[in-house]
Structure 1
Amino acid sequence: MSKNRKTKIGLVSISDRASEGTYRDKGIPALEDWLKQALLSDYETVSALIPDEQPLIEATLKRLCDEDGCDLILTTGGTGPSRRDVTPEATLAVATRVMPGFGEQMRAVSLAFVPTAILSRQVGVLREIEDHAALILNLPGQPKAIAETLQGLPSKGIHGIFAAIPYCIELIGGPSIETRPEIVKVFRPKSAELPEIIEKQVIEPAEGKADSAFIMLHGLGADSSDFAHFREELIACGAPMEQTRFILPSAPVRPISMNNGYPMKGWFDLFSLDNIDKEDEAGLLETWKIIGRLIAQEETKGIDRSRIFLGGFSQGGCMALFSALKMTRPIGGIIGISCYLPLMSRYDAEHVGDGILSPIFVGYGKQDNIVPPPFTEISINELRKLGATDLWSKGYPGIEHNMCLEEVQDLSDFLERCLNGNP
């Protein structure tokens, strides 16, 4: 089974009154909201709102696993001691193996708030059929308790159960699940294989452990080999990157409209070099999702966000600048070389994330014949309007669509300031 396929998650709210329409169900919306905030990787959900009837609960859990192919099934409601609370009984009835640690940890989280948590009978189980398996977990009924159970209480040193869910899903043959580390940080043993997000070249430090990371995106039609020696060039100019891990992704092959639909490696479709009135918003958002996952993976490896850098040349630089608008939190630095800011007219300061507060470097050739310098200059002004307060930019006379030694030196100085915390 492919670990890169989309995760399918079943959401079951169990309530007599909500299923009858007496009141609005809060369980499924709470689960959907939390998943939307926490998950970076692709997923789809299948939902069911049903009464507290054990045969119906059993049938629903079986259908979600056996027919719908759900990898993870989350139930909410029906876990108390009242006679109508039969969710644990139904869950155990369809189980092939019990996972007692999940129930124990769910109660541990709730006990941090209320002593009545000991009344909860939540269970975690596996249901395994010939060619598929699912993890089934009973969650609390209240939205606040659902979020606390899933993500834990970091301030109190209490782990949520979701930290262990992705690795469990992988162990039973399911796909990889990636999360936003600020919501919940997934734990995998060092020996566990990490999800393959995109084809990439990873260059580790020659000696010792990486203490920083630089994700560098190539231009249209190129590939990761374009920047295979970039770290050495930066170090030669004084950038303190001896312990920096370089991640060099290769863009997927896609038809490029500007080239009459000819397929080539590109981060998004491009329609014209003369104007940017028509842009591939879907492609930009698709690549931003990949970038977000790459950044999160470095955080999972132990690299602090303040020491993660995102850069790119030409189309890759466009993606780096676009990412500054989409990130909810700053990173160590964003670098755009010979590029422009996509979708400028779609964003205003109110709808831009705090990634715009990252240190930003923008360099470009004054004689660039691919990305007209006015595009870059307008983009620089727009970034400042959108909230960039630490932005360094420079145009290099006589330089076309490429980097010069002076630009590499300036970028090295920028990186030295960011890594060493110099003003």
Structure 2
Amino acid sequence: MTDKLLPCIEIEPKTPATASVIWLHGLGADGHDFEPVAKQLALPSDYAVRFIFPHAPRQPVTINGGYVMPAWYDIVAMDIDGARDPVGIGKSVDAIGRFVARERARGIAANLIILAGFSQGGVIALETAFASAEPLGGVMVLSSYLSDPDAVPVSPTRLPVFIAHGTDDTVVPYRLGIAARKKLTEQGYDVDWHEYAMQHSVCAHEIGDIRQWLLELLEE
């Protein structure tokens, strides 16, 4: 395994960072996709949050005819929750784990490192939190799902998890968001559930709810 970091976009606070949000985009996008959200969240400057938006590596995606695009892992069938790519997921978890390690080396406490991800990115955000040797601050799971519900570990620390899903989502069906909420709650995670009348996207109401969740999390 290489120690080299994936390319990324970093947005620094006005004062030295005391917390970090590592935000992962969805299939076919890149780190620029959620870059505007850092400004839209309008977090108070005294929270000193660093935002990191990694770019997924480019690779063939089976479901798209083998077309090469940014992807955290391969999707081999329309039944996304039943067709897993454990090797690809493992590689991306290692890659994001290196960002977590770098933030720790920069002096950010583990409980002030928050992972976030949209769609595929949400899968990797959760899997990285599951694999972390130290409990992280929280995970934002946006329009996403569990890659392997049977492998979700028990959370000894009631890890905070913000889950948001569109009721009209046809890419990652709403039922998968509901299933993730149920399983994570059963395994002891502190789940904050939100649903919106939208498709596979992000809405202004959701950004407001994310802001409130982050403020409460970083105040603790």
Q: TM-score, normalised by structure 1?
A: 0.50
Structure-2 separation of matches of 1:334 and 1:218 = 14
Candidates 79, 86, 89, aligned match of 1:284? 89
Structure-1 separation of matches of 2:59 and 2:152 = 30
Partner of 2:119 in structure 1? Answer: 314
* 4+ long deviations beyond 3 Å: 239-242
Structure-1 separation of matches of 2:174 and 2:82 = 16
Candidates 128, 137, 141, aligned match of 1:336? 141
> 1:348, CA displacement in angstroms?
5.3
Task: Note if 1:299 corresponds to 2:98.
Answer: no
Residue aligned with 1:310, SS: strand
Partner of 2:186 in structure 1? Answer: 385
Map residues 88-167 of structure 1 onto 2, 5 A cutoff: none
> 1:260, CA displacement in angstroms?
1.2
Q: Could you tell me which amino acid in structure 1 is paired with residue 27 of structure 2?
A: L
Deviation string, structure 1 residues 163-194 (Cα, Å, up to 9, x no partner) = xxxxxxxxxxxxx6xxxxxxxxxxxxxxxxxx
Structure-2 separation of matches of 1:257 and 1:357 = 36
Structure-2 separation of matches of 1:221 and 1:302 = 32
The answer (yes or no) to whether the contact 2:112–2:136 under 8 Å persists in 1 is yes
Q: Could you tell me which amino acid in structure 1 is paired with residue 135 of structure 2?
A: P
Partner of 1:109 in structure 2? Answer: none
Partner of 1:249 in structure 2? Answer: 54
Partner of 2:170 in structure 1? Answer: 369
The answer (yes or no) to whether the contact 1:311–1:334 under 8 Å persists in 2 is yes
The answer (yes or no) to whether the contact 1:213–1:244 under 8 Å persists in 2 is yes
Structure number with greater CO (CA < 8 Å, separation at least 6) is 2
Which structure 2 segments of 5+ residues have no match? none
> 1:385, CA displacement in angstroms?
2.0
Partner of 2:28 in structure 1? Answer: 221
From the CA coordinates, give the structure whose radius of gyration is larger. Answer: 1
- The alignment-based identity, stated in percent, is 33
Partner of 1:394 in structure 2? Answer: 194
Q: TM-score, normalised by structure 2?
A: 0.93
Aligned length: 219
> 1:271, CA displacement in angstroms?
1.8
> 1:220, CA displacement in angstroms?
0.3
> 1:275, CA displacement in angstroms?
4.4
The answer (yes or no) to whether the contact 2:152–2:184 under 8 Å persists in 1 is no
Structure-2 separation of matches of 1:258 and 1:386 = 31
Task: Note if 1:204 corresponds to 2:4.
Answer: no
> 1:411, CA displacement in angstroms?
0.8
The answer (yes or no) to whether the contact 1:327–1:353 under 8 Å persists in 2 is no
Structure-1 separation of matches of 2:129 and 2:7 = 23
Structure-2 separation of matches of 1:317 and 1:230 = 16
Partner of 2:37 in structure 1? Answer: 230
Which structure 1 segments of 5+ residues have no match? 1-41, 44-175, 177-195
Structure-1 separation of matches of 2:74 and 2:175 = 21
Partner of 1:192 in structure 2? Answer: none
Deviation string, structure 1 residues 292-348 (Cα, Å, up to 9, x no partner) = 111111010011111111001111011112223222322111001000011113x15
Residue aligned with 1:229, SS: helix
> 1:357, CA displacement in angstroms?
2.9
Structure-1 separation of matches of 2:155 and 2:96 = 15
Structure-2 separation of matches of 1:385 and 1:344 = 11
Map residues 270-281 of structure 1 onto 2, 5 A cutoff: 270-281=75-86
Residue aligned with 1:357, SS: coil
The answer (yes or no) to whether the contact 1:309–1:331 under 8 Å persists in 2 is yes
Structure-1 separation of matches of 2:205 and 2:49 = 22
Query: What's the C-alpha RMSD, in Å, of the aligned pairs?
Result: 1.7
Residue aligned with 2:77, SS: coil
Structure-1 separation of matches of 2:68 and 2:121 = 17
Partner of 1:259 in structure 2? Answer: 64
Structure-1 separation of matches of 2:128 and 2:31 = 19
